[in-house]
Amino acid sequence: MTNSISEIEDADCVFIIGSNTSSSHPLVATRIFRAKKKGARIIVADPRTIQISSLADITVRHKLGTDVALLNGIMHVIIQRGWHNVSFVEERTEGFEAFSKGIENYPPEKVAEITGVDAGDIVRMAEIYAKAETGSIVYCMGITQHTTGVDNVKALANLAMLTGNVGRESTGVNPLRGQNNVQGACDMGGLPNVYPGYQPVNMMDIQKKFEKAWNAALSDKVGRTVPQMLTGLTDGSVKALYIVGENPIQSDPDTHHVKKALAAAELLVVQDIFLTPTAEMAHVVLPGTSFAEKDGTFSNTERRVMRVRQAIDPVGDSRPDWQIIQEVSNRFGYGMDYSSPEAVMREIASLTPSYGGITYERLEGEGLQWPCPHADHPGTRFLHEGMFSRGKGLFHPIEYRPPAETVDEEFPYWLTTGRVFAHYHTATMTRNSPTLDAEIREGYLEVHPDDADRLGVLQGDAVTVTSRRGTITAKTAVTDRVQQGLVFMPFHFIESNANVLTNPAHDPVAQIPEFKVCAVKLEKAPL
Amino acid sequence: MIEKVRERVRDLLSSGEVKGFLGLSNKYGNTGPHLFCDAEDLDGLVIGDWKGPGDARYTLNKQLIHIVRKYPDDVFGVLVRGCDDRGLKVLYTWNQLNPEKVIPVGIACSQDLADACECRKPYPDDFVAGEKVEGRASDSVARLDALDVAGRFEAWLKEFSKCIKCYGCRDVCPMCFCKECTLEDDRLVNNGVIPPEIPVFHLTRAVHMVGRCIDCGLCNEVCPADIPLRTLYKKVADIVDEEFQYRPGQELYAKSPLNILMQPSSTG
Amino acid sequence: MDYRTVLTTCTYCGCGCNFYLEVLDGQVIDTIPCKTHPVNEGKLCIKGWNVHEFIQSPKRLKRPLIRRDGVLTEATWDEALDYTVSGLKAIKDAHGSDSIAFLTSAKVTNEENYLLQKFARAAVGTNSVDHCARL
């Protein structure tokens, strides 16, 4: 997030797009509820009706994968009516000319046809957001999990820059990170192209710095992303995969393809706390510990680094993951001798400029939000004050591109996937929690009442759902939360694994798969 | 104020009268519940004033129940304000705690806190620190009562529509000690959807607060949707008081009106 | 008797709520949201309130497993670590560093992520480290 969670409650306008906030980030929803109470205008754009829609001043349900068109339409109105922030655009940005030229192709009437959103609503959304003193954009995987994920994010950045809603309190472009420590995993260099702190692996002076610190020769070749690893396993160029705390069999698109790839590994090592469907395929399983059995830190969606503290001894013979990795490394012949996670953090701080001022002692209390470059730095609540990372903010002209797969005669329904409030990701933990399991026991398919009629199914009847990649069976939940022609499934439940169906086509830059859009056909399942 | 509390706790621990004292501690740079077992180690002990008076209160009575379920023969001390003291009385009455095994260490709340809570009795029967200040009736209930029925209903529906079904109001409630909870019964409240069925979920809970709610307000404070639950349960308590002249926690072993209503069938 | 309340950060979503795990004699028995923490100010969602329930689940993995005759079988740490390391070494020797890839985790700590990517880069010699940031 450019800004902090608590700042949202003081925004004049909150624009929520592609985030089912009250289900997936409930404590961010708290701030949106408060903003509403304090008088903020709320805009919700989501293909489904979500809980937070009910308190919105305007809510639109655009067609799957039409975010760029919708956002361009909004910006078209803003520029046409002169609602943009001229001084911000002049002083803080560049590339406006080319960008605004591109936007000319997106009048609201045309956008209405692409998105299914009423042209008048597009004008109202533009007016509410552009005229707010402080407008905060909140988005999540509904924006990013598309073949146009990067375009979608850039379009949001354009919108914030156009209206000067960035670099100030209670504004910004605020992605809600899904996993508790996905921010930290990225910060720590859990990416194939960067060392900790987003320092590129292919820059000579950076490579030298790490070679010296780690006392090892390092590769300047950018590594493989997850989809490339799977392809590598299939074509034989990758022989071994070491997985820590992930469950790609259930979390990655096109499960059959993932299974085939993992089955081809000569060595599959899985380190986890439960025997997940992925661990079941491993050659060797190393039992790690949960967050309650070790010390360390997590970094949340607002870049706040916070302590994780050991509450109990490791369960059974399981071991904290940092000890397992250290032991593997030592046996491999590369010495690691950390006495504690705190000792690891000292090394992280010494090599990662944005974490430079972070120590366990300073994390007591509220934690610290990076960038926190030195020991006296108080941390950073919001980014881009006065200047962007690259100097001036650059407008990117973005053209609308349809999703990789669209409906046709054979596969006439749009499928989108997401989360439910009582479960988490592949539900490895939540389905082992009796209270959460009792709240929602199984997967389901949300179907519009008219479509249910057409299929001849009632609430709770089983349907088979088939995409170009596979077939699953699920119970129906008949509801007008989805529009006609659209169906929704949570991906938490392995028995009706939505990712058997999803499309692995991915964004060319970020390589994020298009979980949010694919085409399916539905049939009433035989009893 | 805190010195007087420390002094009392030190005495209780060093004399061996209690095995431990459940209070609040400043640790990890935050304030939270803590069991003090060493008379020499009371430095972190606080009364829960963080940025404002009483803004770091916790359900210590609930945690105490957890401990005594496993250690029923030991005596424990516990930090109590007026509301917690009412809570103890109800918990003694319902046999959830044994008054012979609990030594409350009371503090009286400040006027600011009493006003913010709209508390009728902002002090325990006995207290070692603080000054007795006047209690008061609720303005928030009066404000809602001033609306007509339709307006009131609409206001509540709007609030309930934000509910994310965390069950925090129940989970934090010192009076919610049932093993099975009606709110989880799929036959009454459909599982698996948010907001939970309106208004069944919230009114079911409100009904269950009859004769129970001791007006500590912790439900209100934990609500991620800022639903003014305390006001709802205050209203419930006012109705019960009006009809049955009963307020939970006023007197030890006073029978709740529901209890009296049930007697004919339970004896028959 | 050993009763403690340990402040920590939630393991579910990216909000990063803080709560105390209530521990009695080595058993995590409840979750108490922290009133003074700026992220959640004493509030939690249903997942947070029940986070203590999975920690000591009987289904937790308690011992290393090695696949023997097609079946995952309990093993000692020594066996499992040797199996892992000798396998990685053999593959590196035969096919080079880039034939090995690592999925690190958005669920483990910063320190653990740091160590795994360091192991991949400094010990194995590959930048093929990724995780489910996109999922």
Hey, is A152 helix, strand or coil? helix
How far is the alpha carbon of A237 from chain C, nearest alpha carbon, in Å? Answer: 6
A394 assigned to some structural domain: no
What is the SS3 assignment for chain B?
CHHHHHHHHHHHHHCCCCCEEEEEEEECCEEEEEEECCCCCCCCEECCCCCCCCCCCCCHHHHHHHHHHHCCCCCEEEEECHHHHHHHHHHHHCCCCCHHHEEEEEECCCHHHHHHHCCCCCCCCCCCECCCCCCCCCHHHHHHHCCCHHHHHHHHHHHHCCCCCCCHHHHHCCCCCCCCCHHHCCCCCCCCCCCCCCCHHHHHHHHHCCCCCCCCCHHHHHCCCCCCHHHHHHHHHHHHHHHHCCCCCCCCCCCCHHHHHHHHHHHC
Asked if C91's CB is within 8 angstroms of A240's CB, the reply is yes
Instruction: Provide the domain limits for residue C77.
Output: 65-134
Are A402 and A515 in contact by the 8 Å Cβ rule? The answer is no
Asked if B224's CB is within 8 angstroms of C35's CB, the reply is no
**Are residues C49 and C86 both part of a single domain?**
no
Chain A residues whose CB is inside 8 A of the C33 CB are: none
Chain A residues whose CB is inside 8 A of the C26 CB are: 312-313
What is the SS3 assignment for chain C?
CCEEEEEEECCCECCCCEEEEEEECCEEEEEEECCCCCCCCCCCCHHHHCCHHHHCCCCCCCCCEEEECCEEEECCHHHHHHHHHHHHHHHHHHHCHHHEEEECCCCCCHHHHHHHHHHHHHHHCCCCEECHHHC
Q: Please check whether residue B182 touches C, CB under 8 A.
A: no
A406 assigned to some structural domain: no
**Are residues C21 and C72 both part of a single domain?**
no
A427 — alpha (psi -120 to 50), left (phi > 0) or beta?
Answer: left
- The pLDDT value recorded for residue C128 is 98
Asked if B161's CB is within 8 angstroms of A33's CB, the reply is no
Cis peptide before B104 (omega within 30 of 0): no
Cβ-based neighbours of C37, under 8 Å, separated by 6 or more: A366, B30, C17, C18
Asked if B30's CB is within 8 angstroms of C44's CB, the reply is no
Q: In chain C, how many domains are there?
A: 2
Cβ-Cβ contacts under 8 Å between A and C: the total is 446
| Closest chain C CA to residue A311 | C6
Dist. CA C21–CA A185, nearest whole Å: 24
Q: Dump pLDDT digits (tens) for A45-60.
A: 999 999 999 999 999 9
Asked if B20's CB is within 8 angstroms of C24's CB, the reply is no
Cis peptide before B257 (omega within 30 of 0): no
Dist. CA B66–CA B69, nearest whole Å: 6
Dist. CA B61–CA B173, nearest whole Å: 10
β-strand partners of C74: C65
Find the CB nearest C7 among B30, B172, B224. B30
**Are residues C71 and C127 both part of a single domain?**
yes
Mean pLDDT, to the nearest integer, of C57-81? Answer: 98
What's the mean pLDDT when you consider all of chain A? 96
Cβ-based neighbours of B173, under 8 Å, separated by 6 or more: B59, B62, B218, B219
Mean pLDDT, to the nearest integer, of A482-492? Answer: 96
Sign of CA dihedral B145, B149, B150, B155: positive
**Are residues A132 and A153 both part of a single domain?**
yes
Mean pLDDT, to the nearest integer, of C30-56? Answer: 97
Asked if A309's CB is within 8 angstroms of B28's CB, the reply is yes
Against chain C, the chains showing at least 3 CB pairs within 8 Å are A, B
- The pLDDT value recorded for residue B256 is 81
Q: Please check whether residue B57 touches C, CB under 8 A.
A: yes
Rg, C-alpha atoms of chain A: 24
Q: Are strands A518-524 and A413-418 parallel, antiparallel or unpaired?
A: antiparallel
- The pLDDT value recorded for residue B266 is 44
CA dihedral C39, C42, C46, C48 (to 10 degrees): 60
Asked if C32's CB is within 8 angstroms of B32's CB, the reply is yes
- The pLDDT value recorded for residue A96 is 97
**Are residues A182 and A136 both part of a single domain?**
no
Q: Is the pLDDT of residue A189 over 80?
A: yes
- Lookup: tokens for A270: 């899985």
- Lookup: tokens for A395: 């407008």
Dist. CA A128–CA A14, nearest whole Å: 10
Asked if B164's CB is within 8 angstroms of A309's CB, the reply is no
C105 assigned to some structural domain: yes
**Are residues C7 and C29 both part of a single domain?**
yes
Chain C residues whose CB is inside 8 A of the B34 CB are: 5
**Are residues C73 and C120 both part of a single domain?**
yes
A326 assigned to some structural domain: yes
- The pLDDT value recorded for residue B268 is 36
- The pLDDT value recorded for residue B267 is 43
Q: Is the pLDDT of residue A350 over 70?
A: yes
Find the CB nearest A439 among B29, B162, B191. B191
Dist. CA B40–CA B18, nearest whole Å: 14
**Are residues A263 and A347 both part of a single domain?**
no
**Are residues C50 and C110 both part of a single domain?**
no
Higher-scoring residue by pLDDT: B92, C132: B92
Cβ-based neighbours of B266, under 8 Å, separated by 6 or more: none
Dist. CA A51–CA C48, nearest whole Å: 19
Dist. CA B17–CA A13, nearest whole Å: 58
Are C127 and A193 in contact by the 8 Å Cβ rule? The answer is yes
Residue of A292, A276, A197, A191 lying closest to A494 (CA atoms): A276
- Which element (helix H / strand E) includes A173? strand A173-175
C97 assigned to some structural domain: yes
φ, ψ dihedrals at A269, nearest 5°? -105, 130
**Are residues C44 and C71 both part of a single domain?**
no
Q: Can you state the angle between helices A67-80 and A149-162, rounded to 10 degrees?
A: 20
Are B124 and B87 in contact by the 8 Å Cβ rule? The answer is no
Mean pLDDT, to the nearest integer, of A75-100? Answer: 97
- Lookup: tokens for A132: 């707010």
A470 assigned to some structural domain: yes
Q: Note the maximum CA span of chain C.
A: 56
How far is the alpha carbon of C52 from chain A, nearest alpha carbon, in Å? Answer: 8
Question: Tell me, what's the ipTM?
Answer: 0.98
CATH number of the domain residue A513 falls in: 2.40.40.20
Q: Which of residues 46-85 of C touch A (CB under 8 A)?
A: 46-47, 50-57, 59-67, 72, 75, 77, 80-85
Hey, is A392 helix, strand or coil? coil
- The pLDDT value recorded for residue B261 is 61
CATH number of the domain residue A358 falls in: 3.40.50.740
**Are residues C10 and C71 both part of a single domain?**
no
A391 assigned to some structural domain: no
Are A507 and C133 in contact by the 8 Å Cβ rule? The answer is no
Instruction: Provide the domain limits for residue A127.
Output: 5-172
**Are residues A22 and A129 both part of a single domain?**
yes
- Lookup: tokens for A183: 């921010």
Q: Note the maximum CA span of chain B.
A: 60
Asked if B166's CB is within 8 angstroms of A365's CB, the reply is no
Dist. CA A395–CA A293, nearest whole Å: 46
Per-residue pLDDT for chain B (268 aa), expressed as one digit of tens each? 899 999 999 999 999 999 999 999 999 999 999 999 999 999 899 999 999 999 999 999 999 999 999 999 999 999 999 999 999 999 999 999 999 999 999 999 999 999 999 999 999 999 999 999 999 999 999 999 999 999 999 999 999 999 999 999 999 999 999 888 999 988 888 899 999 999 999 999 999 999 899 999 999 999 999 999 999 999 999 999 999 999 999 988 888 887 766 555 544 3
* Boundary of a domain, candidates A152, A172, A192: A172
Please name the residue that has the structure tokens 């472009």. Answer: A173
A392 assigned to some structural domain: no
Asked if A332's CB is within 8 angstroms of C123's CB, the reply is yes
- The pLDDT value recorded for residue B179 is 87
Asked if B33's CB is within 8 angstroms of C37's CB, the reply is no
C60 assigned to some structural domain: no
| Closest chain C CA to residue B194 | C46
Angle, alpha carbons A157-A160-A163 (nearest 5°): 145
**Are residues C50 and C91 both part of a single domain?**
no
Are A287 and C64 in contact by the 8 Å Cβ rule? The answer is yes
Asked if A23's CB is within 8 angstroms of B226's CB, the reply is no
Hey, is A303 helix, strand or coil? coil
**How many other C-beta atoms are found inside a 10 Å radius of the C-beta of residue A441?**
12
Fill in the amino acid letter for A381. R
Residue of B217, B234, B226 lying closest to B172 (CA atoms): B217
Q: Note the maximum CA span of chain A.
A: 68
Fill in the amino acid letter for A220. D
Q: How far is CA A111 from the centre of its chain?
A: 26
A264 assigned to some structural domain: yes
- Lookup: tokens for B31: 């304030």
**Are residues C49 and C73 both part of a single domain?**
no
- Lookup: tokens for B58: 């916790």
Find the CB nearest A284 among C83, C101, C113. C83
Find the CB nearest B166 among C7, C36, C44. C44
How far is the alpha carbon of C88 from chain B, nearest alpha carbon, in Å? Answer: 41
Q: In chain A, how many domains are there?
A: 4
Q: Please check whether residue B101 touches C, CB under 8 A.
A: no
**Are residues C34 and C71 both part of a single domain?**
no
Fill in the amino acid letter for A161. M
- Lookup: tokens for C109: 């700590």
Q: Is the pLDDT of residue A433 over 50?
A: yes
Q: How would residue A389 be classed by pLDDT, with cut points 50, 70 and 90?
A: confident
Find the CB nearest A365 among B29, B161, B162. B29
Q: Dump pLDDT digits (tens) for A250-277.
A: 999 999 999 999 999 999 999 999 999 9
Hey, is A78 helix, strand or coil? helix
Mean pLDDT, to the nearest integer, of A384-397? Answer: 90
Cβ-based neighbours of A280, under 8 Å, separated by 6 or more: C72
Cβ-based neighbours of A391, under 8 Å, separated by 6 or more: none
Are A129 and A172 in contact by the 8 Å Cβ rule? The answer is no
- The pLDDT value recorded for residue B262 is 57
Q: Is the pLDDT of residue C112 over 80?
A: yes
A388 assigned to some structural domain: no
Chain B residues whose CB is inside 8 A of the A49 CB are: none
Chain B residues whose CB is inside 8 A of the A440 CB are: 191-192
Please list, residue by residue across A245-258, b when 16 or more beta carbons sit within 10 angstroms of its beta carbon and e when fewer do.
Answer: bbbbbbbbbbbebb
Q: Dump pLDDT digits (tens) for A133-184.
A: 999 999 999 999 999 999 999 999 999 999 999 999 999 999 998 889 999 9
| Closest chain A CA to residue C79 | A284
Asked if A26's CB is within 8 angstroms of B28's CB, the reply is no
